[in-house]
Chain A
C-alpha cells in the first residue's frame, strides 16, 4: 500500500512536469524511478516484486499492438519483420560485438553482448512512436516490424548462452522437447483464439456487465502470458499473438478500450522500475568509463541503424529511425544476467553494461528532442505523406434501421466505415453480411479513440436515442473538435439541440420519406410527376428555411409558435404565387 502510494505520487509529480518541459512522458517516469529508487531517496527498496508487475505493462502493450494488427496486415508485414529485423540484428550485433571485443571481452562474450545490445526497447520506442503519432508512417511500421523480430529473436538468444560457455551446462530438457512445447503452446493459442474465444466473449458481452468483460480481458492476457512463461517463451510475444488473433473480432475496440488504462499504468510502472535500476553508485565511482561506454554504444548502434535504414528503404526519416531504436532493450538485462551466471561476463561487466542500457533508455527521448530541434524546420517542409491504414475514414455510430442504410451506401461506394453499435445480437448478424462492426457504447471516449476518431474524416451520428446522440456530439466536440459530424435528428427539438452544438449537417429522420409519400399522393391525384417533385422541392426549401428562422427562439415557446404560424401563412402565400406563375406558363417562358 505504501509503495503504491509512492509510485503514484512520484508519477503524478514527475510525468506532467517532464511533459510540460518537452521531455516526454517516458523520461518523466524514468526520472520518477531514479528519484524513489535505491540510489535516490530510497523510498522503495524492494525492486524485484515491482519488476514482475511492471513487465505486465509490456505484455499488455503488445496485446494492444496485436489487436491493431489483424492477421492479414500481419502477414503483409512479414518482409519487414523477417528481412529488416534479421538485417538489423545482424548489422548492429556485429558492430557492437566488435566494439566489445576491442575493449577486451572474449569473443563469446562479445558475441552475446553485441547481439543483446542490438535489441531495442519495445516499450520505449513504441511509446515514443505513439506520442509522436508516427505509428502509421513508413518509419513507424519499419520500427515496429524490427522490434517484433527482436522479441522473437530474444528467446533463442537466451538459449544460446549455455552453448558458448565452457562452464557445465545447466540441467534442462533437450532442445527438441522445448521447441515442441513452444510450438504446442502457440498452436493452442491460435486454435483457442480462433474457435473458442469469440463465443465465450459473446456470452460475457450479453450479460451486459462491463466490469466482467474487463476482468475477462485481463484474465485472457494473464493466462496467455502464464502459458508462454511455462514453455519458456516471451510473455509479450504470446500476448501479441493473442492480440492479432482477436484483431478481426467485433470485440477488438471494446478490448482495446478496457485494457488501455491498465496498459498505460503498468507501462508507467515499467519505466519507473527501469529508472530504479540505474546504478548511480557506479555512475559516481566510474563516471568516465560509464560515459565512454554509453557514448560508444550509442554511436555504434545509431550508425548501424542508419545503415540499415538505407537498405530497407526508409527515405526521409533515417535519423529518426536510428534514434528511435538507439536504446538498449529490457531483454538485455535478462541476457546479461544469464551470461553472468554462465560465467561469460564478470559481475563488473554486467553492472557496466546494465547501466549503459538503462541510461540509453533515458537518452532516447533526449536524442529525439535534439532530432526535432535540428530537423524541425526541414521536416515541416517535406513531410512524408500519411500512410493510408485500414482505419476507416468514416465512423458510423448506431447501426439500426437508419445507420444501416448509410453504411450500405458507403460500403457500396467502396468506403469501409467503422461501425459502432451496442447491441451484441445486432453486431453478430451484421458481421455475417461482411460489415466491420464493433461492439460497444459509441459515447465512450476510449471506444471512439480506438475506432480512430483522431484520424477519421467524418462521423455519422445515426444513434436513435436522443440523449445518447447528444452525449456523443458533446464528447466529440470536446475531444475531437476537428472531426466533422453528419447527424440524424429524431424531431425538430433534437434538430435544434444538434444545431446548437455546431453540427452543420442535420437531417430529420422522417422528413424526406414523408415528402416522398406526399409526392406519391400528388401523383395519384393526377399531378404530373415532375410537377409533384417541384412542389415537394419548394415545400422542402420553405420548411428548412422556416425551421432555421425559428431556431433562435427555440427556447422561447411562445415566440416560436407565433413564428411557426407566420411560417404557415408565408408558405400558403408562396404556393399561391408559385401556382400563379405556373398557370401563366411554364418551362422556358411559356413555350408549349
Chain B
C-alpha cells in the first residue's frame, strides 16, 4: 500500500507535480490524499490522516518546494497529524518501520550551490524533512528531487515521470 500525501495549493495549475502524480495514478495500490483539496480551510481531519498512514507501507510526500521546505499546508499536516504518543515519544510507534519517499519539484539546479542564488547545495535543505521522518521511527529513502521544473520539455517530463514510477514500483515489489 502506497500513500501519497500531496500538497499543491492549485493542483489544476500544476505541471511538474501533476505529471509525477499521473505517472503512478494507475497503480493499484496507490492512495492519493491532496491536502489543499481535502482541507482548503486547513481543518485537517487528524483521525482520517492517521488511519490512512496506518494502512500504508510506503509514504510519499509530494509537493513543490516552497521557501526551501514543504508548503504551509504540509507543515501544518506535520504539526497536527504526527502527534506525540502516536508517531513519536512515549508509546508513539504507529509509523515504525514505514518507508518515506520525499518527492519534491523545484527550480534551477545550478542555483543550489555555494556560489549560487540559494548559497547552499540542495543537501543542506534536506535534514529538517528527513529528521521529521526519522524522529517518527520511519525509514528514510533517497529523496526524489525534480530540479529545473520551470523550463522542462515535455519529453524530459515524461522521462522523469517514468523514473519516478520505477522507484515506486521497485518499493512495491520489494515489499
Contacts and interface: CB of A to CB of B under 8 A. Distances in A.
A205 B65 CA distance: 66
A448 to B, nearest CB: 36
B13 A528 contact: yes
B147 to A, nearest CB: 12
A165 B37 CA distance: 91
Interface centre among B17, B36, B40, B64, by most chain A C-beta atoms within 10 angstroms, is B40
A529 B40 contact: yes
Interface string B61-72: 000111100010
B10 A528 contact: yes
Interface of B, helix, strand, loop or mixed by DSSP: loop
A206 B12 CA distance: 59
Interface centre among A529, A532, A533, A586, by most chain B C-beta atoms within 10 angstroms, is A529
Interface in B1-60: 9-17, 36-37, 40-41
A591 B37 contact: no
Interface centre among A530, A533, A590, by most chain B C-beta atoms within 10 angstroms, is A530
A380 interface: no
A528 B67 contact: no
A589 to B, nearest CB: 9
B11 A591 contact: no
B64 A592 contact: yes
A156 interface: no
B161 interface: no
A349 B14 CA distance: 101
Nearest to B12: A528
Contacts of B71: 587-588
Given A591-B107, A592-B16, A592-B17, A531 B10 contact: yes
B36 A592 contact: no
Given A529-B40, A530-B10, A530-B37, A588 B67 contact: yes
B11 A528 contact: yes
Interface string B100-139: 0000011100000000000000000000000000000000
Question: On chain B, which size bracket covers the interface?
Answer: 20 to 34
B9 A530 contact: yes
Interface in A557-592: 586-588, 590-592
Contact of A592 (B37, B40, B150): B150
Nearest to A586: B10
Contacts of B16: 592
B66 A591 contact: yes
Interface of A, helix, strand, loop or mixed by DSSP: loop
Contacts, number: 49
A526 B71 CA distance: 22
Contacts of A588: 66-67, 71
B40 A591 contact: no
B150 to A, nearest CB: 7
Interface in A7-23: none
Interface centre among A526, A528, A533, A592, by most chain B C-beta atoms within 10 angstroms, is A592
Given A586-B10, A591-B107, A592-B15, A529 B65 contact: no
A586 B65 contact: no
Interface centre among B11, B13, B37, B107, by most chain A C-beta atoms within 10 angstroms, is B13
Interface string A506-549: 00000000000000000000111111110000000000000000
Contacts of A587: 9-10, 64, 66, 71
A91 B154 CA distance: 98
Contact of B105 (A529, A533, A586, A592): A592
A592 to B, nearest CB: 5
A8 B13 CA distance: 82
A530 B36 contact: yes
A535 to B, nearest CB: 11
Contact of B13 (A529, A532, A586, A591): A586
Interface of B: 9-17, 36-37, 40-41, 64-67, 71, 105-107, 149-150
Given A529-B36, A529-B40, A592-B105, 9 more contacts: A528-B12, A528-B36, A529-B37, A530-B10, A531-B9, A531-B12, A586-B9, A586-B13, A591-B64
4 smallest beta-carbon distances between A and B, as pairs:
A588-B66, A530-B36, A533-B40, A529-B40
24 contacts: A526-B12, A527-B12, A528-B11, A528-B12, A528-B13, A528-B36, A529-B40, A530-B9, A530-B10, A530-B36, A531-B9, A533-B41, A586-B10, A587-B9, A587-B64, A587-B66, A587-B71, A588-B67, A591-B64, A591-B106, A591-B107, A592-B14, A592-B15, A592-B105
